[in-house]
Structure 1
């Protein structure tokens, strides 16, 4: 048991990244000792390479924080900084041509109903530009006739998920970043096997690093032997994969094309508080029924395989059967965000909600690693008199991320933003609500990795009654959280402040 835990730790996401980096360093050191007197020539060539890369990075169309992190890394570590950058870029797993193909396909499959846009402009005129942006650049249309249900905890979502999976008659699609053996996975596995034997098309996709190398073989063998189709997304390949980047961070379940689940909950027992890792685990999700489920179906199948549009259309249920079953208020726009293009849709959705808020903004996020643009947007909103409140974990899952977050606490509180830490434990929910009129629920953290490097997804809700439930849950969570004061920030030990400032420089690379 101890050996299994040790191996699990060694093969975790962060450990794999560190091991890969150390291997590169040891390789360079080995080459240096072997070169002897010729090392001076090699060192000179590396410096020339670094200078070329610094000029290249400085002029790239990438966020300034990301460029600055690499400029500092290459300048401080000239021996392997430039080589590491090249390794990272050359080992990207997905060509941009794949994203271009999906964009063309999305335009064929995801057609915006102009009548819905007209109704949105009349009902929610302030939201029209955001919906148009997501439709034009995220390629996912907005819908009516979609019912939504909000879950305040992972265990509540899990109970409803099991009930809905039992009703499946045609197909079940599941996609998770993390899958770990335990009660949650075992329960769903038995159900999926039973459904597959009934002739239902059951597919399960999981990330090769998020799930971990130990969890990516054995637990799924039995599923495959019993008819469940399993797929590893971007599997880890030592010395070839860039490990941390282009991960599938999405959490999606689609049932028969009429019901979908999306939120922060992965397929592991800590997410439903069956086991305790970082105190009480607070997560949220939504269940969607109706026309908008088609967006989830398309985004799943596009990542599953290079299917033709006609093949994907086979999974679209008759619209009448959906409309009759889903009378609903408001509008919903599920969307996906890809790291393969230069359009950070998730980040810009958050920025729009923050910038256009008139009264308040409520945010929950497990990670608060912000660039200058997001920091200024939050601070400017607070300075305008908007009540900006953010809830983060009190018990972190990554100590260095928590230290960087505290570095941001000091800057944000000085500008009037209110930061709360969820004292019972770890809050993993990713939600944002503006004025009780517009909200986002999904998988997108407030950090560089979610904004630029991962495949993510979420749902924007416009004037939907369930937004009241999200706000109510936020207020309840605030009552169990501690308000971080400017005095607490100023009294932090100098060593922690310095460490946080240094880590913040390299935050986009962590």
Structure 2
């Protein structure tokens, strides 16, 4: 039996024991038990009402609480993740990791004078993610496929001299990871510091349970994010969905592309795998370095000298502004950063907004923002997959179509296969390339990252990629598309319970 199977069995036994003990105490003294259950339910209701969370989350948990007898117990077990003292201490220590740019204030001041709308979007982002900053002096390259980005990554890895950081949701043994690993082994032998952080649940089916030990035997510092252990905890809901590669603090990569062969179409799982990514060279890479160190430190708590990674990386000639940022669960982030960035871009668009997302499972607020943009005349287009990787998700995604189509949103399904890119572009001025899906898990629970781009040269490449996607995708028309009753039902059920999933 694998360690994951063993952990699942132990956690199930823990859950069954808690409920057995709860009902066993009721058999001993029923009157006292009823009083305890009543007080527990009332206390839970007050806790939910006074807790800072989205209205839909409150409604969901209140409904759960009213399940006879066990509702309050479910909330106490799964309703809120409480950080340990060690994690809280690590969060406080992160204040010393400020990689601030000397010219950040001047860049924002100049932007405010020329484009107040873009300034407001960026200012809002910086207020939500205190670790983010505005960068110039950066060149970038957009990749419309995992194949092209993979080859560029290999070239940069071979040039590493000081350190290499990799943080990925999925790593799978095969051609892509195998060729990267060979370079990492060579670099580690040469004295280059190599750190690898991967999500334990994300790699549960793709890597052996002892893979960190294998990597360490090559001289690579490797750890699992949020390691699965035989303990029932809601913390497992917060996965590390980021995709970050940093080389010497000078070059960085991010986007939707994990380190597995379907992402470079070496193997075919769901037709042609369409993805997107970005390469940064210059000052903005400091932010990707910091994002990696934040999750490494929260997970390991071992780094004490952050300044040695705060290299004075060379500014590169390039126009526009770059704002790499993170998003994630509370209390690391005080608001839904990824969702708010999307909302601000959509709400302030005047000409067009194009979106690619593999999943479309969004709440009332974001749905209304998208509808309102279309109703005021903005050309809003959303591309989702025609070939899905999760059969249950596609009916839920399609259940959202009718309401959006009625408001004038244009919806496309990528017919060659599965589209996995998470890109947004608006008005030839702003774009987002990153890991953040339009679904609850990405917008609420997962640790995510992205880059907000303002008037950078690659905006034309991103828009051109969208135009090519539209050409090979099938547009969904209101009146032609027939949503079934179960698709609408699934959508409503998921919207109701998604905030707690």
TM-score by length of 1: 0.88
2:294 corresponds to 1:265: no
* Per-residue deviation, residues 83-134 of structure 1 (Å, max 9, x unmatched): 2221124654566735742662344656553232234335544311222233
SS in 1 for 2:323: strand
2:46 corresponds to 1:55: yes
Give the conservation status (yes or no) of the 8 Å contact 2:171–2:206.
no
Give the conservation status (yes or no) of the 8 Å contact 1:120–1:331.
no
C-alpha change, 1:51 and 1:215, in structure 2 (3 Å) is farther
* Per-residue deviation, residues 358-395 of structure 1 (Å, max 9, x unmatched): 00001111121111111111111111100111111222
Pick one of 137, 149, 152 that aligns with 1:145: 137
For residue 163 of structure 1, report the CA deviation from its aligned partner.
0.9
Name the counterpart of 2:450.
458
2:310 corresponds to 1:316: yes
Name the counterpart of 2:121.
130
1:415-426 pair list within 5 angstroms: 415-426=407-418
SS in 2 for 1:479: helix
Give the conservation status (yes or no) of the 8 Å contact 1:93–1:246.
no
Give the conservation status (yes or no) of the 8 Å contact 1:112–1:135.
no
Deviates further, 191-200 or 77-86: 77-86
Deviates further, 298-307 or 288-297: 298-307
* Per-residue deviation, residues 397-426 of structure 1 (Å, max 9, x unmatched): 233332322222222112111222212222
1:101-500 pair list within 5 angstroms: 101=92, 104-107=95-98, 109=100, 113-122=104-113, 124-139=115-130, 140-212=132-204, 215=207, 217-242=209-234, 244-305=236-297, 306=301, 311-319=305-313, 322-323=314-315, 326-339=316-329, 340=331, 341-488=333-480, 491-500=482-491
In the alignment, structure 1 segments of 5+ residues that lack a partner are: none
Give the conservation status (yes or no) of the 8 Å contact 2:358–2:385.
yes
SS in 2 for 1:82: helix
Matched residue pairs, number?
493
SS in 2 for 1:421: strand
In the alignment, structure 2 segments of 5+ residues that lack a partner are: none
* Separation in structure 2 between the aligned mates of residue 446 and residue 20 of structure 1, nearest angstrom: 33
* Per-residue deviation, residues 199-231 of structure 1 (Å, max 9, x unmatched): 100110011211227726333333211111101
Off by >6 Å, runs of 4+ in structure 1: none
C-alpha change, 1:132 and 1:313, in structure 2 (3 Å) is same
TM-score by length of 2: 0.90
Give the conservation status (yes or no) of the 8 Å contact 1:404–1:507.
no
* Per-residue deviation, residues 2-21 of structure 1 (Å, max 9, x unmatched): x9xxx79x869xx96xx788
Give the conservation status (yes or no) of the 8 Å contact 2:228–2:236.
no
* Separation in structure 1 between the aligned mates of residue 26 and residue 39 of structure 2, nearest angstrom: 20
Name the counterpart of 2:62.
71
For residue 28 of structure 1, report the CA deviation from its aligned partner.
5.8
Name the counterpart of 1:82.
72
For residue 40 of structure 1, report the CA deviation from its aligned partner.
5.2
Give the conservation status (yes or no) of the 8 Å contact 1:28–1:80.
no
Give the conservation status (yes or no) of the 8 Å contact 2:363–2:495.
no
